């Protein structure tokens, strides 16, 4: 006695499932490409959107530095808070200019990066940043920070 068996084609799927899988695959491909582009060109993207109204980062950070200095001179901020903000401002400038995240580095780690001007400012700011009271001359620190930002190449 002969038995007849009808076999299905090995790749017979529901069209909806197949089209959904294809759409998800194509979407993932484009997401991976977008992530790669963003990682590679994030510095340029930041400059395009974040600092849009400024010609370059130097003028942006010099303006922020001037605002911070005016707040301190108008007694809207104390020495410690100003020192912390100034340190963060300088560290963010270095991060935007060099793509090296120095915002979480200690001053010894910054010294190893071989950026002497930044190390010098961070070293000066360490005392008022971490002390309860300090008699440091903040005006000289502001002028030194402005000088470093202006002379950055």
Express each pLDDT in 58-107 by its tens digit.
Answer: 888 888 999 999 998 888 888 778 888 888 888 888 887 777 788 888 87
| Residue 130 to residues 51, 81, 91, Cα–Cα distance (Å) | 31, 10, 16
Confidence of residue 131 (pLDDT cuts 50, 70, 90): low
Higher-confidence residue of 27 and 147: namely 27
Give the pTM: 0.58
Within the chain, where are the H helices?
Answer: 15-40, 42-49, 57-73, 79-98, 107-112, 116-130, 138-151
Express each pLDDT in 95-123 by its tens digit.
Answer: 877 777 888 888 788 888 887 788 888 77
Contact criterion met (CB below 8 Å) for 53 and 141: no
Q: Mean pLDDT, the chain, as a whole number?
A: 79
Confidence of residue 54 (pLDDT cuts 50, 70, 90): very low
pLDDT at res. 135:
55
Helix axis angle, 116-130 relative to 138-151, nearest 10°? Answer: 150
pLDDT at res. 31:
96
Higher-confidence residue of 29 and 131: namely 29
Quote the tokens at residue 20. 């959904």
142 contacts: CB under 8 Å, gap ≥ 6: 65, 68, 69, 72, 86
| Residue 124 to residues 14, 77, 144, 147, Cα–Cα distance (Å) | 69, 19, 10, 15
């Amino acid at each position: 006695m002969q038995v007849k068996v009808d076999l299905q084609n090995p790749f017979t799927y529901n069209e909806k499932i197949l089209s959904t899988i294809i759409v998800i695959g194509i979407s993932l491909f484009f997401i991976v490409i977008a992530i790669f582009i963003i990682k590679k060109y994030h510095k340029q993207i930041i400059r395009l959107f974040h600092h849009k109204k400024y010609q370059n980062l130097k003028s942006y950070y010099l303006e922020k530095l001037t605002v911070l200095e005016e707040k301190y001179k108008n007694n809207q901020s104390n020495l410690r808070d100003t020192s912390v903000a100034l340190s963060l401002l300088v560290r963010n400038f270095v991060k935007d200019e060099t793509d090296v995240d120095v915002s979480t580095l200690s001053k010894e780690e910054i010294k190893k990066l071989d950026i002497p001007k930044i190390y010098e400012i961070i070293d000066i700011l360490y005392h008022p940043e971490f002390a309860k009271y300090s008699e440091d001359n903040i005006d000289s620190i502001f002028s030194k920070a402005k000088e470093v930002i202006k002379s950055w190449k």
